[in-house]
Every structure is written in structure tokens, then in C-alpha cells.
Amino acid sequence: MRRFYRKAGLRIFLGSAVAATLIVAGGSTIGGAASVSHKVAKKSTWAIGLLDNFSSSSFITDPAEERSTATAWQNYINAQGGFNGHHVKIYVQNDQGNPTVGVAGIQTLINTDHVVAVVSEASFGTTAYQTYLDKAHIPFISPYSFFPDPGNTDPNYFPAGGTEGGVDLGIIGVLKHLGTKEFGYISSSNGGSAAQAGYNLMQSDVKGAGIGFFGQLLGTVVNYTPTCLAMQQAGVTAAYVATGFLPNIAQDCAAQGYHPQWIYNIVGSTQANVDPLLANPVDNGVITLDWAFPWFSQSPVLHTFHKVIQEYGGGVSVGPTTAVTWESFVELQYAMTKYAALKKTHVAVGQGLENALYTIRPNMRVGGLLVPMTIKHGVSKQENCFFQIDIANQKLSGNLTPVCG
């Protein structure tokens, strides 16, 4: 299968060191908005917040991969001497998938732990956090936490990795290349209004490209045969299916002699979402469009990534959540390196990191990875990008250069 790649301008930035210590669970929460100073004394330790639902795996992230990657990055940085002598310490807050709990966690991170930045892979209460983060000038870095996408409107929110819009962009590109006349979109209804909004956007984009659209939002399904037959009747030759539906839907459709080109998005847990794809021959030929860079690649660009995870990650499997968490911390590492290099500054650390993140430009390479982000001072606007990963012979293959547009 031909891949869709656009050559990106190359600028390699190899940031200085990373940090040591164990991840520390945050203490009790205290109320009130933050308005504290975050100036750091020479050689002081910089506190970083890690906020997410660590109570259970979601369809989009794996808590074990996320925490092990954060720990690995921290310990590696500190083992290298930190950022110009500043070590880092990560404080964890579990939002339990509840925005109210998440707000209390943000307040604790800011008011008690005095963090200078917050990383969050998929905390869905982010619009409620804005008041506290913006007032304290604490940058918020995340690949998945932007629903309904404050990353495009809040100057203090900084995206990492691919984007929701990037996946849509990739789908249209694949459909055009295949010459698809009728497209199928099968996703989960569990997301409520957000699921419907995603459905509506995809329908609009596909029809705007002059391609027919057949869609279903499904709940719990035991057998996908009715959906397969409906797609076949509608003339669907290529179909996107949401996380968790493969390989079952492909299997049920194959049983009917129906074999559309399947398009997928790999996220979450290696064990839950990746291994089943590779175990079933029916998934050979699947095209996946992903937020995470190809974590399985042995490219020299990922030498540090693999070495750090192996050495400091505690033996947890490397997967899509490992990749997007690493992307977030590499982005933060860029900003911390730049801020630590300043010989003299009166700017508080959080604001200084914000300023440093604003220096990221399109097609810059940070830690060997392209950060798909367009930054204008005062506005954080995410560029739509995705990574294409294909499945062939029950193996993954992919390129480290994302497609952006």
C-alpha cells in the first residue's frame, strides 16, 4: 500500500538532559484559583504535574504505559544532571475520569506542589482547568485532552503528536488515492454528543470531497453482520472503524465474502488494542492513521526513546500510549532546555516555559521527532498531522515523518 508522505523541513534538536526520582502522588487538594509565583532558585527542583485517569484503562490511553514513560523520562533526565542543574520531580493526580476531581487535582498541583507545567494524555475536563492554568501561567501539554479543543483557542494549551483533524485529513487522502466512491464510517455511540460531533464532521469532510457517506454509531455489538450487509448494499469499498471494533467487524464481514479496505486508528493499550490486530490474519492490509509515532520503529531517531524506556521504564510494554506520552515530555524537554539556558531572567518558570514553547515553528524537529504544531505568540494553534502505520503479514510498518496539512 502506498503511503502518503510530505517532506518536512528538517531541524534536529537534541535537548540536554532529563531527570531522576520516583513519580510522587500528589497530596490532598485545596481550593481556590492559583496566583502564585513560580520563580525558581538556582539549581532548584522543577515540579511537573501528570494528570489523568489512572484508575482504569480507557479506549485511548493505557495508564501503565503513561506512568512508566513519565517515570522513565524523569529518571533519565535527572541521571543526566537535569536541566543546567535543575532536576525534575513529577507529581501525579488521578482525575478518575471525572472533571470535578480533575479540577481539584489541578488546584493541588498548582497551589500545593507548585508545578511549572502539566502533562496530560487524555483528561477530558480540560475546559474546566483553563481558569487555573491560565491565571498561574502553567503550560498544559497533551495530545488527546482537547475536547472540545481548547488547544486551538487557549494560548496556554500546547498539543503534542497527531490530531483528530489529522486523522480526518488522512482518511480523505486515503479515499482519494483509492478512488473511493462510497465510504463507510463505523464508530461508537458511547461518546454521546462528542461522538455525534465527530460523526457530523467526518460526514461533512467526506461529502465535501465528493465521496458518498454511509455511517453508523454503534453501542455494544455481538455480531456485525447486519452492518456488513448494509455497507455492502450501499456500495462501500473503504471503511473507517473506531478503536475496539477491529478485528471483529472485519471477521464478520469476511464471513459474508465482503472485504472493504479497512481504515483504523491505533490508540490505547498494546495488549488490548494492538496485539489482537496482529494476531488475526483478517487484519492484514489494514491502513491505520495515528496520533502516535511508530513506536515499534528501530530508526536511529528513536534510539534514545527505546534506550530510556528499556532502562528506566520498569519493563512495561512499549505501545501507542508510550509514544504519545514521550512526545509530550520531549516537547516539555525542549522548553525546559531553552529556559534553563537563559543566563539571566526575571520571568517565572511557567511563563518562561510558555515563551519557549512559542518558539516552536512548523516542521521543527524536537528530540528527532517532528512536533506537529503551529505557534503564534498569544495563540496556540495545532497543525493537523497524522502518522500512517500499515499492517502486513501480521506486522506493523510505518514512517516517522507525519503527514501534515
Residue 379 has what pLDDT? 54
Q: What is the largest CA-CA distance in the chain?
A: 69
Residues 69 and 281: beta-carbon distance below 8 Å: no
Residues with Cβ < 8 Å from 387, sequence gap 6 or more?
A: 162, 289, 290, 291, 292, 293, 294, 398, 399, 400, 402, 403
What DSSP character marks residue 28? Answer: -
Domains of the chain: 24-161+300-360 (3.40.50.2300), 164-290 (3.40.50.2300)
Q: How far apart are CA 288 and CA 122, in angstroms?
A: 20
Query: Per residue in 94-142, pLDDT tens?
Result: 998 888 999 999 999 999 999 999 999 888 666 778 889 989 999 998 8
Which stretch of DSSP H or E encloses residue 118?
strand 117-119
187-211: per-residue pLDDT in tens?
A: 988 767 778 888 998 999 999 999 9
pLDDT at residue 192, rounded to an integer = 75
pLDDT the model gives residue 14: 30
Amino acid (one-letter) located at 115: V
Buried b (16+ CB within 10 A) or exposed e, 64-76: bbbbbbbbbbbbb
User: What is the pLDDT at residue 125?
Assistant: 66
Q: What is the pLDDT of residue 153?
A: 66
| Confidence band for 376, pLDDT divided at 50, 70 and 90 | low
pLDDT of residue 59 exceeding 70: no
Looking at residues 292-300, what average pLDDT do you find?
91
Q: Decide: 268 and 244 in contact? Cβ < 8 Å.
A: no
Q: What is the pLDDT of residue 402?
A: 79
What is the average per-residue pLDDT within 10-21? 32
Q: What is the pTM of this model?
A: 0.84
The pLDDT value given to residue 250: 94
Contacts of 203 (CB under 8 A, 6+ apart): 185, 213, 215
Contact (CB, 8 A) for 385 and 290: no
Least confident of 1-15, 216-230, 359-373: 1-15
Least confident of 165-169, 293-297, 332-336, 370-374: 370-374
b/e string for 148-167 if b means 16 or more Cβ within 10 A? ebbbeebbbbbbbbbbbbbb
Copy the grid coordinates of residue 240.
Answer: 473507517
Beta strands in 195-248 (DSSP E): 212-218, 238-241
Q: C-alpha distances in angstroms, 123 versus 126, 243, 354, 396?
A: 7, 18, 20, 28
Question: Could you read off the pLDDT of 230-271 as tens digits, one per residue?
Answer: 999 999 999 999 877 888 999 999 999 999 999 998 887 887
Q: Which residues contact 40 (CB under 8 A, 6 or more apart)?
A: 46, 86, 116, 349
* Highest mean pLDDT: which range of 16-30, 329-343, 353-367, 368-382: 329-343
Encoded amino acid at 301, one letter: V
Alpha helices in 242-371 (DSSP H): 248-255, 275-279, 303-312, 320-340, 349-357
